[in-house]
């Protein structure tokens, strides 16, 4: 459990609040920003490969421009993960 102390007013006494975080938050915090960036790149690359596999047979027709929703979301999640890792490394204290 995480113990947070905060003040409600500038000169008020500090109050103690107890919060419990999900285990996933601790797992993501323990992962380094470099490892998270590599993981995001792999996820995005997997989405791009998936799009290429699905789109290759449809290139001759006009429906080749429209892709199914699965690979685009996978690619988007990978890009967001990569961006989050870059943000984490830019605000790292030290």
When mean pLDDT is compared across 9-23, 27-41, 69-83, the lowest value belongs to: 9-23
pTM for this entry: 0.64
CB 19 within 8 A of CB 2: yes
Q: Give, in degrees to the nearest 5, the angle at Cα 66 between 65 and 67.
A: 115
Give the separation between CA 51 and CA 74, rounded to whole angstroms: 10
**Domain assignment of residue 77, given as a range:** 2-90
Residue reference for tokens 């990569």: 82
User: Which stretches of 7-68 are DSSP H helices?
Assistant: 23-30, 33-55
For 35-91, the pLDDT digits (tens) are: 999 999 999 999 999 988 888 887 777 666 677 789 989 999 999 999 999 999 999
Number of domains in the chain: 1
């Amino acid at each position: 459990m995480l113990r947070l102390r905060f003040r409600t007013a500038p000169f008020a006494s500090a109050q103690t609040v107890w919060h419990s975080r999900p285990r996933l938050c601790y797992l993501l915090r323990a992962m380094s920003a470099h490892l998270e960036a590599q993981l995001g790149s792999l996820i995005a690359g997997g989405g791009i490969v998936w799009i290429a596999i699905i789109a290759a047979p449809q290139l001759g027709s006009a429906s080749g421009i429209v892709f199914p929703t699965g690979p685009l979301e996978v690619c988007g999640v990978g890009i967001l993960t990569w961006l989050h890792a870059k943000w984490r490394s830019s605000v790292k204290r030290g």
